[in-house]
A = this chain, B = another copy of it.
Amino acid sequence: MDSYLGNIKECRFIHSLASGAKITDPSVVKGIGDDTAVVRGPGNKYWLFTVDMLAESVHFKKGEDLKKVGYKAMAVSVSDIASMGGLPRYALVSAGFPRQGFQEKARRLMSGLRQCASRYGISIIGGDTNRSDKLVVDVFLAGEVEQRRLVLRGGGRKGDVLFVTGRLGGSQSGRHLCFQPRVRQARFLTAHFKVRAMIDLSDGLALDASRLAEACRLGVILFEEKIPLHPDAAGLKSALTDGEDYELLFALSSKDAGRLNAAASSQRPPLRFIPVGVLTDQFRGVRLQRRDGVVRGLPGPSFSHF
């Protein structure tokens, strides 16, 4: 269940991959380093490509209901597309199954994959299957976004307000398998506001905020009193570091921030966004302002246990 560490390691591998393969193709708008890759598409649109692999014992327990695993496998990629402001369109699914109980396992997994695909308007158009000692499922998802609605990680400016789309922490008690990717929220935001930076919270607010800040070449102050704790969260630390919340974290200018929730509350059903911090040029990394006013640093993604 240590996707937190798993993802830190991923960063390093993916960066090594990125550094070795200089992309010269001018149709690639964004390669490795954001929630999805971005490629020029038809007309005024971009294609968004992302892939997420879930493995037994790492992202889900042996014996877990595979329908839930299938749902999650699709949903984590949908969340990546949402964090770019886009809509998911086409999925291809690779899966490796243990020999024992293959048929039933495949059926349950597919049922969950389809449930999520159906909910978000995705066509499953291909796949590959293999044997594997432990179950592994890998979802490739292609989405699209209007060029003017594309949101990268790195466009935030000092003084921008950071919001999240929901309560954080304790997702491992069950939510991490059945969360709802915030596509509707992302589409509302990019339709009505200039969203300057956005990322989905896969590894916890502390780490993902540091990634967003790093991409913006700025620092982040989070306000303890503002951070919305989920009822499942064990406390503030849980909300900061548990991971797998799959809420969105995004930056708006202070002017846009002031009118956000009035506009959101007029939606049917209404939406609500929670301000949790600000971007600053006074330092790099993430700091937390406690209720007593004391500001302290939070660890960033600079270590690995792989």
Contact = CB atoms under 8 A, between A and B. Distances in A.
A72 to B, nearest CB: 14
Contacts of A6: 129-131
A302 interface: no
B17 A138 contact: no
A42 B39 contact: no
A271 interface: no
Contact of A130 (B37, B43, B55): B55
A94 interface: yes
Given A28-B90, A39-B125, A51-B128, 5 more contacts: A17-B124, A21-B114, A21-B117, A55-B132, A94-B94
A292 interface: no
Interface stretch (A7-15, A169-177, A183-191): A7-15
Interface in A9-55: 9-10, 13-14, 16-17, 20-21, 23-25, 27-28, 30-32, 36-37, 39-43, 49-55
B90 A17 contact: no
Interface string A129-140: 111111010101
B58 A130 contact: yes
Given A20-B114, A42-B43, A136-B132, A125 B28 contact: yes
Contact of A106 (B16, B23, B25, B111): B16
Interface in A78-126: 89-90, 92-96, 99, 102, 106-107, 110-111, 114, 117, 123-126
B32 A123 contact: no
A142 interface: yes
Interface residues of A, number: 65
Contact of A132 (B32, B114, B126, B134): B134
Interface of A: 6, 9-10, 13-14, 16-17, 20-21, 23-25, 27-28, 30-32, 36-37, 39-43, 49-55, 58-59, 89-90, 92-96, 99, 102, 106-107, 110-111, 114, 117, 123-134, 136, 138, 140, 142, 306
Contacts of A14: 126-129
B131 A51 contact: no
Contact of A93 (B17, B30, B125): B17
Contacts of A90: 25, 28, 37, 39, 49
Contact of A31 (B40, B58, B93, B123): B123
A227 B216 CA distance: 60
A265 to B, nearest CB: 33
A127 B32 contact: yes
Contacts of A136: 96, 130, 132, 136
Contact of A51 (B24, B94, B96, B123): B94
A64 to B, nearest CB: 16
A167 to B, nearest CB: 27
